[in-house]
Structure 1
Amino acid sequence: MKSRTVVDVWLADLTFPGYMDPLIRLGEAFERAHPEYRINIEGHHYRRIAEEVHHAAERGRPPAVAEYYYSGTLAARDALTRDGRPLFTSVEKAVAGRKEILGEPVVLDDIEPPLRDYYTYDGDLTSMPTVATTSLLYTNTTLLNAAGVSRVPRTWNELEAACEAVARLPQGPPHAVTWANHGTLFQQAIAMQGGLLADHGNGRSGRPLTVNLASEEMLAWARWWRRLHREGHYLHSGKTADWLGTFQAFATQQVVFRFSSSIDVTNTVQAGENGGFGVEVSRLPYNDDVPYGGNVIAGTSLWLADGLDQATQDGALAFMQYLNSPANAAEWHKSTSFIPITRASFDLLEGEGWFDKHPYHRVAGDQVNGAHGAPGSLGALLGDFAGTHDAMTQAMDDVLSRGADPAARFAQANEEAQRRLDRYHADCRGPGPRGPHCFAVD
């Protein structure tokens, strides 16, 4: 019997209960359709997988396919083999214009444009998006209507006015709004105002060499946030990245509004049903004073190792297409709330009546497509992106908890983020990214 071609696939385990189970089943289904292949799937914690791939490459045994978190995209581009060659090759170039691989239809041209663009550099789709999220506004419409507000806020000013109405509500919640102090929401705030986090078009037209965490857009966001906090509208838990605490505050009706990831859609709607209050899911509010500049995505993508033999490469590419086939991508969306990856998967869901029954699942896709192509909406490519997140969140905590001046504190944060970026580039001048800071994501 002819031996099977083994394709090692390392996937980023996002640590939700049972997250890897359907992915492993898809690998088994692919094997049944292609018995000449064995898809060897391993789940690695999403925060550690990039460093584990790096060490495997140093040993000369990297996986054929590796899934990186979006904020590790530049580290993936910079990754090297132990011989000093690029570890990964372009997915688009490897597909080489084929319409199918091993009988699996190629879906690259059908990827939703904002998702495709995030992982495209110099017109080349370097990796295959698999998971996509954005940030949304969740509203307790029962409390909002009780406060005399009939429409969910669309802008910062409208949200602030709604917070004031909630504050006047007899026996109302102690605060009106909350969100986690996390870097993704800073990214959203900057992008929605048309701003950039780094030079060279956020690292899209060249290697990003300088960051700007003290921009007009950053300070507008920080000052508005501070004002909401000082006026008692914003609930500050005192912790950074407090996703659970802010969710619990919304679920127990301690606040009316919450900014959070689109992945929270199902749980938040269920919290409303359990708590007996209405929930509306809508786009993230934007700054009234500047044109809306679009929203960014988060998520993961699959990277293809360079130098594979043809059989292994074709198996890897075919499996990527299989994961994102219309039926599989649609089922993945249903089970996870992630944005449907391809237009065909979205159309399949719509044809089944899924969005008619679950309209809140449509909002994330509508939002990221709403200003497609705006410079800020492409998102930044940064080395040690997690370090930039840390600099921003620590600065904001000082503003909220210790009364720091936003301009001075974010100027300091910018210096810290610049040191981190410089250190990353110093590593890349040697044998590629190698320090733990190079692989940190969040």
Structure 2
Amino acid sequence: MSKTVVDVWVADLTFPGYMDRWLKLGEEFNAKHPDYQVNVVGKDFRLFPVDIADAARAGNPPAVAEYYFYLVHQARDSVKPDGSPLFVPIERAVAGRDEILGEPNVLPDLIAAGREYYSINGELTAIPSVGTTSLIYANLDMLEQAGITKMPVTWDEVTAACEAVAAGPNPPEKPITWSNHGTFFQQAVASQGGQLVNNDNGRSGRATKADLSSKEILAFVKWWQRLHADGHYLWTGKIPDWENTYKAFDEQRVAMRISSSNDVNYMVAAAKASGVRLGVGIMPYNSHVPYHGNAIAGTSLSVTAGLDKAVEDGALAFLMFAHNPRNDANRHKFNSFFPVTHAGYNLLEEEGWFDEHPYHRVASDHVMKFPPNAIVDETAKANIVPPSTGAMMGDFAGNQDVMTNAMGDVLNGADAEERFAEATIEAQTVLETYERNIQGTGPVTEETLRVEYFRDAEWYSGLVMEKVQQLDYDGK
């Protein structure tokens, strides 16, 4: 008897063993559903959106396709040769069913941060597959030598910690570092309630105007600039340069590093190998304005529109299977991605994972709770948990290039307000160019489907991976 084939294309993020887990999920689903053949294919993370567009134009797109969080808008804009939408909102496809092919519907159990980010006009368009946020990591031995006894959670506390570390005994080269990367701008702007584009960050209507000179961006930029001018921030001179900010922490040339929650395992490995105590805290925020939550990062999975009913059901069932509590919890353990369902989080809690690995709890707390002592306005309080809607715009990667290049110039001496006023003009051009280039076809070119080169895949094969392998990838 022939099997129903379901092609699933995911971004191969190149982390060791990353695709092994995806392939195993496909094998386990196929064994459980012998009438189906789910084929999971890992695509080059730099080129996969163009591969999807090419397949769609040829009339054979995969049943399920993965996109980075900043490509949600491009996924929505993608069309088939007849001009109809390439993807169907997953909530619409599920149509309120409690289960698909016996796999329980996990959509109602998604944490709010993931649901809100991937929803448009209240409708969930895709299911989050990778969830990350930004965190601060610290060498607790260095902080305590400087008299700092708790992790800094605000910009002011980071500044005070930097001053204490710099003035303390045996100070490192610099107190703090982080990569010049767009995700930190997004976090800083979102936490202050700011927006990168108009029309409610592109969610109540298409974004038509970019703004990289808002008071929220400039507050972050000037705080960052002051840390650098005062000799506290280690600027590697490269963009984004995740590798050298990691090495600076690993070599104990800095006391603190801001990075992705995905780096928990790597930072734990560095601390363990060096024999230092590691502290992990939330992304520091501006305590002088109300806290509005932070924008998450990661990826999501979309379902192609117009599939044969059996194929669509198989695609949806596989997504529910891949996100069931056990698989959600295992994905977190292996890759440090925060669990995207309450059931996955609760399973980890029940099994004692977070008690044994407290570092891993921080990211989930960050996206599910308001920080202690934060100013929270009445609108935010009504949401109970910090909102996470982020910006939705065309060529988000191009926008990030503009802001990081501008920040590089500021760190090299340019006036912050003047340079980010110029950046706003550049970002506007990027936005308008995207809108012009998708007319009639949707995004199909490398320019309209640009993927930022956000990590050097190669550096994981060196020192950092040797250390992580010693942890057996579980953060112990």
Instruction: Classify the TM-score, shorter chain.
Output: over 0.9
Asked if residue 395 in structure 1 is aligned to residue 394 in structure 2, the reply is no
CA RMSD of aligned residues (A): 1.2
Q: CA 1:393–1:382 in structure 2 vs 1: closer, same or farther (change >3 Å)?
A: same
Measured in 1, the distance between the counterparts of 2:278 and 2:434 equals: 43
Q: 2:432 aligns with which of 418, 422, 425?
A: 422
Measured in 2, the distance between the counterparts of 1:120 and 1:170 equals: 50
Matched ranges for 1:26-105 at <5 A: 26-105=25-104
Contact 2:145 2:169 in 1 (8 A): no
Matched ranges for 1:209-220 at <5 A: 209-220=208-219
Please identify, of 178-187 and 292-301, the stretch whose mean Cα deviation from structure 2 is larger. 292-301
Measured in 2, the distance between the counterparts of 1:330 and 1:141 equals: 28
| TM-score, structure 2 as length reference | 0.91
> 2:390 is aligned with what amino acid?
G
Contact 2:368 2:386 in 1 (8 A): no
Q: CA deviation at 1:170?
A: 2.8
> 2:76 is aligned with what amino acid?
R
Match of residue 378 from structure 1: 389
Q: CA 1:284–1:349 in structure 2 vs 1: closer, same or farther (change >3 Å)?
A: same
| TM-score, structure 1 as length reference | 0.98
Contact 1:192 1:377 in 2 (8 A): no
Matched ranges for 1:221-240 at <5 A: 221-240=220-239
Measured in 1, the distance between the counterparts of 2:153 and 2:32 equals: 48
Measured in 1, the distance between the counterparts of 2:45 and 2:109 equals: 26
Matched ranges for 1:221-300 at <5 A: 221-300=220-299
Contact 2:114 2:388 in 1 (8 A): no
Measured in 2, the distance between the counterparts of 1:265 and 1:192 equals: 22
The aligned length equals 440
- Residues 166-199 of structure 1 show CA distances to partners (whole Å, capped at 9, x for unaligned) of 1112321010000000000010111111111111
Asked if residue 408 in structure 1 is aligned to residue 407 in structure 2, the reply is no
Match of residue 110 from structure 1: 109
Q: CA deviation at 1:368?
A: 1.0
Q: CA deviation at 1:375?
A: 8.7
Match of residue 198 from structure 1: 197
Contact 1:101 1:314 in 2 (8 A): yes
Contact 2:135 2:281 in 1 (8 A): yes
Secondary structure of 1:220's aligned partner:
helix
Measured in 1, the distance between the counterparts of 2:75 and 2:225 equals: 36
Measured in 1, the distance between the counterparts of 2:369 and 2:423 equals: 31
Contact 1:190 1:376 in 2 (8 A): no
> 1:386 is aligned with what amino acid?
A
Secondary structure of 1:420's aligned partner:
helix
Structure 2 residues not aligned, in runs of 5+ = 371-379, 453-476
> 1:379 is aligned with what amino acid?
G
> 2:428 is aligned with what amino acid?
Q
Please identify, of 270-279 and 372-381, the stretch whose mean Cα deviation from structure 2 is larger. 372-381
> 1:409 is aligned with what amino acid?
R
> 1:391 is aligned with what amino acid?
V
Measured in 2, the distance between the counterparts of 1:331 and 1:17 equals: 15
Asked if residue 11 in structure 1 is aligned to residue 22 in structure 2, the reply is no
> 1:398 is aligned with what amino acid?
D
Measured in 1, the distance between the counterparts of 2:87 and 2:286 equals: 39
- Residues 18-65 of structure 1 show CA distances to partners (whole Å, capped at 9, x for unaligned) of 210011011011000111110111101223111110011111111110
> 1:255 is aligned with what amino acid?
V
Q: CA deviation at 1:436?
A: 1.6
Q: CA deviation at 1:347?
A: 0.5
Measured in 2, the distance between the counterparts of 1:377 and 1:82 equals: 33
Measured in 2, the distance between the counterparts of 1:310 and 1:380 equals: 33
> 2:93 is aligned with what amino acid?
A
Q: CA deviation at 1:432?
A: 1.1
Contact 1:195 1:376 in 2 (8 A): no
Match of residue 471 from structure 2: none
Contact 1:135 1:259 in 2 (8 A): yes
Contact 2:367 2:386 in 1 (8 A): no
Measured in 1, the distance between the counterparts of 2:420 and 2:307 equals: 45
> 1:244 is aligned with what amino acid?
E
Secondary structure of 2:114's aligned partner:
helix
Measured in 2, the distance between the counterparts of 1:239 and 1:376 equals: 32
Please identify, of 414-423 and 287-296, the stretch whose mean Cα deviation from structure 2 is larger. 287-296
Secondary structure of 2:299's aligned partner:
strand
Percent identity reads 52
Contact 2:399 2:427 in 1 (8 A): yes
Contact 1:46 1:68 in 2 (8 A): no
Asked if residue 438 in structure 1 is aligned to residue 437 in structure 2, the reply is no
Q: CA deviation at 1:376?
A: 7.0
Measured in 2, the distance between the counterparts of 1:41 and 1:107 equals: 20
Secondary structure of 2:290's aligned partner:
coil
Q: CA deviation at 1:102?
A: 0.6
Contact 2:89 2:125 in 1 (8 A): yes
Match of residue 168 from structure 1: 167
Q: CA deviation at 1:429?
A: 2.5
Please identify, of 353-362 and 371-380, the stretch whose mean Cα deviation from structure 2 is larger. 371-380
Q: CA deviation at 1:384?
A: 0.2
> 2:166 is aligned with what amino acid?
A
